[in-house]
């Protein structure tokens, strides 16, 4: 409009100055022509403005239905415009190295390995229904680790069904990409890994209280379900976790969390194969180097799970600034029976505990969900990511009543104690390098023998572990 | 036992009656009917409350007729649709399968409780001297008609222009196409609906003539300064019959079948027809039409059936992808 006003003035001026000496009639004609021209231009401007408005309206309308696709540190995500439908692709790739020292010449344990190679497919349909599917290609066979549906009515009320982590172990529940060390502590030997079942869960008041209660097929200590259940009994699990100061103004206390978890089930004797508390040559409990130091391997007969199995785990953590501390204690009590004389049963109660501490040297915040570097790795610009030192002490104690009827004390350890120290380098949110040293000592075992656990418990385990991890 | 049963029956009846007291109805309508249904809904709510004791909340949705039909097909849970043309409801039948194919027979006058037509709205003093359709195709004139691809009014406009040209040229389709091509060459802005076109012409001051709904033209006169605009009735125009119907599957699912039927039937009552006339829609009821005869210009109107063989044929020939309108647009680029 300013332009139009200027033109109007210019036209008037031209009519006054430029046309002096022109007959009045011609001046009127020229002025009329100029006015017509101005009117035409005014219309053109209005038309352009209106087209702009309509174009913007059309864009707004289109945005309501245009799907959104994003790709970045958080992976690939596509969602409908109303976000009622979402599909996301994430992944975890872990390339490890294990180097053992003074291991009594055990063959084949020094190795590079693809510890985890997991594409993670997740998403939402119809706003309230989430799905999660995680196969793993890292081992010698492809396994399905997670496969579940989740209905979220509200953050405080959700229902999950499928295969997923049983809500017991604090470190076990931590995402694989965020654990402090390559391997979880000895505590994790006693808690269930993943199982098939249903779980009601939620975060109340923004996570001040978290609860989970579920019913599952039942799975042995440290085990994943084999996707089949050979018995009719179920296992019930539950967890209650408090972060009482999460919303408080006391910043130093916001990262404090304390809880308790447990499980109870009944495992009936079944000779063809049980969720793996059976022993013999099957894996029992393993060290940081993933070597078996205990098995249900009596000199005669086999051992089966036969009766009640309960677990109890007080647990907690504290994070404040770069400092992190995590601790948990687990009791796992399993009734077992022998298949050969003497035909006897016993309730065996094993315990384990750990304390793990961390400090982010570069000042970023430590958390249960990992570290996000403030200055992602970019050496050309003097940015090196984040560095974190980590330390852990953990013990696992086997019930004395286990020996000798349910396990050979000459080969299986009755206790293991482990300390670890390491350095984690977070190049950015997606890339991380770990290096740690772990030393585990054993009580009992260590006799002659050519297989684990004898070969493992003969000397302390000293292992240097490294990892290159890509997670998105 | 008998006492318990009686008590339970009374309780159930009470709960049922309490539960049935309040209903919500969604009326998905075309662009310019906002004022009409604001008035009508208030009257119907009052009538229904007096008749049944039930409270009705009526929600309205407005937009270009074609767009609204697509919204219902895509899941907008309309109990009733009151659209600009029968073809849009036929599309809901075919693609949404939400009501039967013979829906138009369920209410009088082919389910059109009121009619309208296409007229011209010009600025004060009619500076471009527009009298009839021929004046609209003069070079340099700015016509604001909305986009036939999305607007019901715009489709009626197109057909009115075509019908006029056919009559003038003794049924020569090629000349009609040429006429309509010239018509659309004079369109500077394409709004998606009738109300948007009114905004462009009236509020934004674009164009020399708004070609669209008669009721919209009268509403503009009512709401603007006296004399700011004038209605020009062309020599020939089309009888537009905006239809109404219950969307059976939605109404059944929502338990509003009886209410939705009563709502539409109320449009045909004297009060409903008065409201239509007050909002510048031509009523069907003879008594009301006679009463308001002077409010509407006398026009020579043809029907879509007479000239085009009905909406299905007209839609397929003119407005489908690759149809005559698309060909005209291609030629005008």
More confident residue, A270 or B76: B76
**Which of B193, B206, B208 is the best mutation test for A, with the most CBs of A within 10 A?**
B206
CB contact A300 to B (< 8 Å): no
Q: Rounded to an integer, what distance in angstroms lies between the CA atom of residue A395 and that of residue A354? A: 7
What global pTM score does this model have? 0.72
Asked whether residue B320 falls in the same domain as residue B214, the answer is yes
Q: Rounded to an integer, what distance in angstroms lies between the CA atom of residue B195 and that of residue B199? A: 6
CA B259 vs. chain centroid, Å, equals 22
The answer, yes or no, to whether residue A226 has pLDDT greater than 70, is no
Whether ipTM tops 0.85, in short, is no
* Strand-pair partners of A130: A124, A150
The answer, yes or no, to whether residue A90 has pLDDT greater than 80, is yes
Predicted pLDDT of residue B182: 95
Burial of B127 (0-12, 13-18, 19+ CB in 10 A): exposed
The mean pLDDT of B167-191, rounded to a whole number, is 94
Asked whether residue B31 falls in the same domain as residue B167, the answer is no
What confidence category does residue A281 fall into, taking pLDDT thresholds of 50, 70 and 90? Answer: very low
The answer, yes or no, to whether residue A2 has pLDDT greater than 60, is no
Predicted pLDDT of residue B128: 93
Asked whether residue B276 falls in the same domain as residue B193, the answer is no
Asked whether residue B50 falls in the same domain as residue B27, the answer is yes
Contacts of A50 in chain B (CB under 8 A): 189, 200, 204, 206
What is the secondary structure of B222-246 as a DSSP string? HHS-TTSEEEE--SEEE-B---EEE
Contacts of B204 in chain A (CB under 8 A): 46, 49-50
The answer, yes or no, to whether residue A36 has pLDDT greater than 60, is yes
The answer, yes or no, to whether residue B52 has pLDDT greater than 70, is yes
Neighbour tally for A35: CB within 10 Å: 12
Closest alpha carbon to B260 in B85, B80, B38, B128: B80
The mean pLDDT of A366-371, rounded to a whole number, is 96
Which tokens sit at B208? 């020399």
Helix B173-185 and helix B152-168, axial crossing angle in degrees, nearest 10: 130
Contacts of A57 in chain B (CB under 8 A): 192
Tokens 């006391």 correspond to what residue?
Answer: A250
Of A46, A57, A58, Cβ closest to residue B206: A46
Contacts of A46 in chain B (CB under 8 A): 204-206
Predicted pLDDT of residue A234: 87
Which tokens sit at B211? 């070609």
Question: Average per-residue pLDDT in chain B?
Answer: 91
The answer, yes or no, to whether residue B124 has pLDDT greater than 50, is yes
Q: Is the Cβ–Cβ distance between A158 and A150 less than 8 Å? A: yes
More confident residue, A18 or A109: A109
Listed range (A55-64, A222-231, B119-128) with the worst mean pLDDT = A222-231
CA distance B143 to chain A (A): 12
Predicted pLDDT of residue A222: 80
Contacts of B206 in chain A (CB under 8 A): 43, 46-47, 50
Predicted pLDDT of residue A303: 85
Are B200 and A50 inside 8 Å of each other by CB?
A: yes
Provide the percentage of residues in chain A whose pLDDT is more than 90: 68
Listed range (A12-26, A272-286, B28-42, B315-329) with the worst mean pLDDT = A272-286
Listed range (A247-251, A277-281, A338-342, B16-20) with the worst mean pLDDT = A277-281
Predicted pLDDT of residue A273: 35
The answer, yes or no, to whether residue A167 has pLDDT greater than 60, is yes
Are B204 and A51 inside 8 Å of each other by CB?
A: no
Of B192, B196, B204, Cβ closest to residue A46: B204
CB contact B76 to A (< 8 Å): no
Contacts of B188 in chain A (CB under 8 A): 43, 47
Asked whether residue B160 falls in the same domain as residue B265, the answer is no
Provide the percentage of residues in chain A whose pLDDT is more than 70: 91
Asked whether residue B21 falls in the same domain as residue B48, the answer is yes
Q: Rounded to an integer, what distance in angstroms lies between the CA atom of residue A259 and that of residue A406? A: 33
Burial of A241 (0-12, 13-18, 19+ CB in 10 A): buried
Alpha-carbon distance values, B21 to B49, B264, B288 (Å)? 10, 20, 33
Q: Residue B47: give the domain boundaries.
A: 2-114+242-294
The mean pLDDT of A8-36, rounded to a whole number, is 67
Predicted pLDDT of residue A3: 44
Which tokens sit at B35? 């004022």
Listed range (A103-107, A196-200, B64-68, B194-198) with the worst mean pLDDT = A103-107
Asked whether residue B214 falls in the same domain as residue B247, the answer is no
Contacts of A43 in chain B (CB under 8 A): 142, 188, 206
Phi, psi (deg, nearest 5) at residue A420: -140, 150
Nearest CA in chain A to B204: A46
CA distance B201 to chain A (A): 10
Predicted pLDDT of residue B13: 53
Are B206 and A54 inside 8 Å of each other by CB?
A: no
More confident residue, A388 or A21: A388
Q: In sequence order, what are the residues at sequence separation of 6 or more whose Cβ sits closer than 8 angstroms to the Cβ of residue B128?
A: B122, B135, B138, B141, B208, B209
**Which of A37, A39, A50 is the best mutation test for B, with the most CBs of B within 10 A?**
A50
Asked whether residue B280 falls in the same domain as residue B319, the answer is no
Are A43 and B189 inside 8 Å of each other by CB?
A: no
The answer, yes or no, to whether residue A8 has pLDDT greater than 80, is no
Listed range (A12-26, A88-102, A119-133, B222-236) with the worst mean pLDDT = A12-26
Domain with residue B151: its CATH number is: 3.40.190.10
Q: In sequence order, what are the residues at sequence separation of 6 or more whose Cβ sits closer than 8 angstroms to the Cβ of residue A2?
A: none
More confident residue, A224 or A430: A430
Q: Is the Cβ–Cβ distance between B45 and B90 less than 8 Å? A: no
The answer, yes or no, to whether residue B255 has pLDDT greater than 80, is yes
* Strand-pair partners of B22: B55
What confidence category does residue A442 fall into, taking pLDDT thresholds of 50, 70 and 90? Answer: very high
Closest alpha carbon to B206 in A203, A45, A238: A45
Asked whether residue B179 falls in the same domain as residue B128, the answer is yes
Predicted pLDDT of residue A272: 40
Predicted pLDDT of residue A269: 61
Asked whether residue B96 falls in the same domain as residue B215, the answer is no
Predicted pLDDT of residue A233: 78
Listed range (A50-64, A184-198, A222-236, B3-17) with the worst mean pLDDT = B3-17
What confidence category does residue A271 fall into, taking pLDDT thresholds of 50, 70 and 90? Answer: very low
More confident residue, B2 or B122: B122
CB contact A127 to B (< 8 Å): no
Q: Rounded to an integer, what distance in angstroms lies between the CA atom of residue B311 and that of residue B94? A: 14
Closest alpha carbon to A116 in A432, A439, A452: A432
Provide the percentage of residues in chain B whose pLDDT is more than 70: 94
CA distance B190 to chain A (A): 8
Predicted pLDDT of residue B8: 61
* Strand-pair partners of A199: A160, A214
The mean pLDDT of B300-328, rounded to a whole number, is 93
The A residues from 41 to 80 touching B (CB cutoff 8 Å) are 43, 46-47, 49-51, 54, 57-58
Alpha-carbon distance values, A409 to A137, A446, A457, B263, B278 (Å)? 36, 9, 11, 86, 100
Asked whether residue B139 falls in the same domain as residue B220, the answer is yes
CA distance B127 to chain A (A): 13
What confidence category does residue B7 fall into, taking pLDDT thresholds of 50, 70 and 90? Answer: low
Are A47 and B189 inside 8 Å of each other by CB?
A: yes
Contacts of B205 in chain A (CB under 8 A): 46
What confidence category does residue B328 fall into, taking pLDDT thresholds of 50, 70 and 90? Answer: very high
Domain count, chain B: 2
Asked whether residue B263 falls in the same domain as residue B309, the answer is no
The answer, yes or no, to whether residue B26 has pLDDT greater than 60, is yes
Q: In sequence order, what are the residues at sequence separation of 6 or more whose Cβ sits closer than 8 angstroms to the Cβ of residue A87?
A: A77, A78, A79, A121, A122, A123
CB pairs under 8 A between A and B: 22
* Strand-pair partners of A200: A159, A213
Listed range (A97-106, A161-170, A202-211) with the worst mean pLDDT = A97-106
Predicted pLDDT of residue B190: 93
Closest alpha carbon to B201 in B216, B180, B181: B216
The mean pLDDT of A392-413, rounded to a whole number, is 94
Omega of the bond leading into A17 within 30 degrees of 0 (cis): no
């Amino acid at each position: 409009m300013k332009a139009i006003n200027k033109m109007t003035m210019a036209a008037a001026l031209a009519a006054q100055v430029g046309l002096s000496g022109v007959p009045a009639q011609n001046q009127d004609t020229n002025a009329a022509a100029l006015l017509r021209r101005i009117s035409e231009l005014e219309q053109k401007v209005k038309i352009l403005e209106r087209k702009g408005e309509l174009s913007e309206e059309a864009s707004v309308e289109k945005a309501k239905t245009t799907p959104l696709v994003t790709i970045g540190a958080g992976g690939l995500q596509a969602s409908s415009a109303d976000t009622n439908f979402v599909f996301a692709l994430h992944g975890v790739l872990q390339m490890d190295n294990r180097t053992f020292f003074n291991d009594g010449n055990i063959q084949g344990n020094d190795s590079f390995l693809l510890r985890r190679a997991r594409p993670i497919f997740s998403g939402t349909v119809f706003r309230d229904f989430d799905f999660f599917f995680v196969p793993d290609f890292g081992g010698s066979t492809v396994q399905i680790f997670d496969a579940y549906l989740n209905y979220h009515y509200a953050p405080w009320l959700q229902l999950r069904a499928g295969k997923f982590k049983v809500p017991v172990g604090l470190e076990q529940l931590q995402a694989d990409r965020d654990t402090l060390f390559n391997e979880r502590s000895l505590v994790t030997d006693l808690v269930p890994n993943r199982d098939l079942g249903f779980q009601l869960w939620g975060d109340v008041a923004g996570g001040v209280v978290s609860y989970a209660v579920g019913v599952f097929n039942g799975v042995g200590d440290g085990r994943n379900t084999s996707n089949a259940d050979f018995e009719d009994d179920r296992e019930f699990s539950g967890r209650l976790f408090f972060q009482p100061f999460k919303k408080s103004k006391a910043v130093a206390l916001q990262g404090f969390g304390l809880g308790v978890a447990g499980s109870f089930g009944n495992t009936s004797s079944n000779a063809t194969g049980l969720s793996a508390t059976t022993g013999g040559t099957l894996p029992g409990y393993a060290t940081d180097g993933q070597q078996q130091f205990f098995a249900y391997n009596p000199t005669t007969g086999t051992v089966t799970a036969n009766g009640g199995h309960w677990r109890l785990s007080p647990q907690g953590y504290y994070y404040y600034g770069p400092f992190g501390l995590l601790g948990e204690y687990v009791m796992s009590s399993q009734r077992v029976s022998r298949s050969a004389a003497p035909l006897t049963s016993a309730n065996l109660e094993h315990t384990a505990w750990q304390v793990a501490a961390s400090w982010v040297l570069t000042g970023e915040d430590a958390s249960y969900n990992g570290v996000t570097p403030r200055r992602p790795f970019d050496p050309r610009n003097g940015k090196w990511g984040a560095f974190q030192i980590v330390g852990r002490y953990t013990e696992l104690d086997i019930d004395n009543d286990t020996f000798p009827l349910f396990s050979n004390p000459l080969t299986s350890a009755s206790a293991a104690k482990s300390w670890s120290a390491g350095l984690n380098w977070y190049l950015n949110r997606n890339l991380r390098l770990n290096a740690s040293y772990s030393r585990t000592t054993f009580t009992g075992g260590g006799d002659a023998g050519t297989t684990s656990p004898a070969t493992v418990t003969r000397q302390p385990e000293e292992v240097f572990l490294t990892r290159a991890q890509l997670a998105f | 036992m008998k006492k318990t049963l009686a008590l339970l029956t009374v309780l159930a009846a009470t709960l049922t009656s309490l539960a049935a007291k309040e209903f919500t109805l969604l009326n998905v309508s075309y662009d310019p009917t906002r004022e009409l249904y604001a008035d009508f809904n208030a009257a119907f709510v009052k009538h229904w409350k007096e008749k049944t004791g039930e409270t009705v909340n009526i929600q309205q949705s407005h937009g270009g007729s074609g767009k609204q039909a697509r919204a219902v097909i895509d899941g907008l849970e309309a109990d009733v649709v009151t659209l600009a043309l029968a073809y849009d409801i036929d599309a809901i039948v075919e693609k949404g399968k939400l009501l039967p194919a013979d829906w138009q027979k369920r209410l009088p006058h082919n389910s059109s409780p009121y009619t309208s037509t296409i007229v011209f709205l010009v600025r004060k003093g009619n500076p471009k001297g527009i009298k009839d359709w021929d004046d609209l195709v003069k070079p340099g004139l700015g016509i604001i008609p909305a986009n036939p691809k999305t607007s019901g009014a715009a489709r009626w406009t197109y057909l009115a222009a075509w019908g006029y040209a056919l009559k003038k040229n003794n049924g020569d389709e090629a000349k009609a196409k040429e006429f309509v091509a010239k018509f659309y060459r004079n369109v500077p802005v394409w709004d998606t609906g009738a109300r948007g076109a009114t905004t462009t012409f009236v509020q934004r001051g674009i164009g020399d003539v708004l070609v669209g709904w008669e009721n919209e033209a009268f509403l503009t006169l009512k709401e603007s300064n006296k004399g700011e605009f004038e209605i020009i009735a062309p020599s020939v125009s089309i009888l537009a019959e905006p239809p109404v119907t219950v969307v059976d599957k939605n109404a059944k699912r929502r338990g509003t079948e009886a209410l939705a039927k009563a709502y539409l039937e109320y449009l045909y009552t004297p009060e409903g027809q008065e409201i239509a006339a007050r909002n510048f829609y031509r009523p069907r009821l003879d008594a009301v039409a006679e009463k308001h005869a002077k409010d509407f210009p006398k026009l020579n109107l043809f029907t879509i059936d007479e000239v085009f063989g009905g909406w299905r044929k007209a839609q397929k020939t003119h407005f489908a992808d690759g149809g005559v309108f698309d060909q005209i647009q291609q030629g005008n680029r």
